[in-house]
């Protein structure tokens, strides 16, 4: 006769215990809506020169010469330039508008969208052109 292990009621409760929902670290949406909005940007001197769009959850898109994504409610109050790999921390609303109008003052390198033709790349391009020219002469 095989003896089977009996599962007690306490074991069943522990096994089927549902995990507790994780605490939400973000601010509730209602609180963000109450504390944010484009009103905070209206007091800035260059407000009329940019377009500001609220994206939700504390994210604002500021369009001047370039697009700046600004998170003024975030812990680090970061601003990111479109096409960049890094952002600037501790950016006030006025500074974010300034960066949208003067992107070179942000001192952030944009990610490369196409290979640059500096130094060694130029010589490779010239070699490739010569090879193509030789091939075309042989064919024609």
Q: Looking at per-residue confidence, does 88 or 109 come out higher?
A: 88
Q: Looking at per-residue confidence, does 63 or 18 come out higher?
A: 63
- Domain ranges across the chain: 26-112
Q: What pLDDT is recorded for position 81?
A: 92
Measure the CA–CA gap between 66 and 62, rounded to whole angstroms: 8
User: What residues does 60 pair with on adjacent strands?
Assistant: 54, 70
> Which among 96, 87, 122 has a CA at the least distance from the CA of 41?
96
**SS3 category, 89:** coil
Measure the CA–CA gap between 58 and 41, rounded to whole angstroms: 13
* Joined tokens for residue 7: 């599962």
User: What residues does 110 pair with on adjacent strands?
Assistant: 84
Measure the CA–CA gap between 125 and 122, rounded to whole angstroms: 5
pLDDT digits (tens, 9 = 90+) for 35-64: 456 788 888 888 899 999 988 888 999 999
């Amino acid at each position: 006769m095989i003896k089977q292990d009996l599962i007690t009621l306490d074991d069943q409760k522990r096994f089927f215990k549902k995990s507790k929902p994780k605490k939400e670290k973000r601010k509730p949406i209602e609180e963000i809506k109450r504390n944010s909005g484009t009103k905070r940007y209206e007091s800035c001197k260059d407000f009329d020169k940019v377009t500001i769009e609220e994206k939700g959850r504390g994210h604002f898109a500021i369009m001047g010469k370039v697009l700046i994504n600004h998170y003024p409610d975030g812990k680090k109050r970061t601003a990111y330039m479109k096409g960049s790999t890094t952002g600037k921390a501790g950016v006030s609303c006025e500074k974010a508008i300034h960066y949208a109008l003067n992107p070179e003052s942000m001192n952030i390198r944009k990610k490369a969208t196409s290979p640059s033709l500096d130094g060694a790349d130029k010589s490779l391009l010239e070699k490739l052109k010569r090879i193509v020219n030789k091939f075309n002469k042989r064919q024609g």
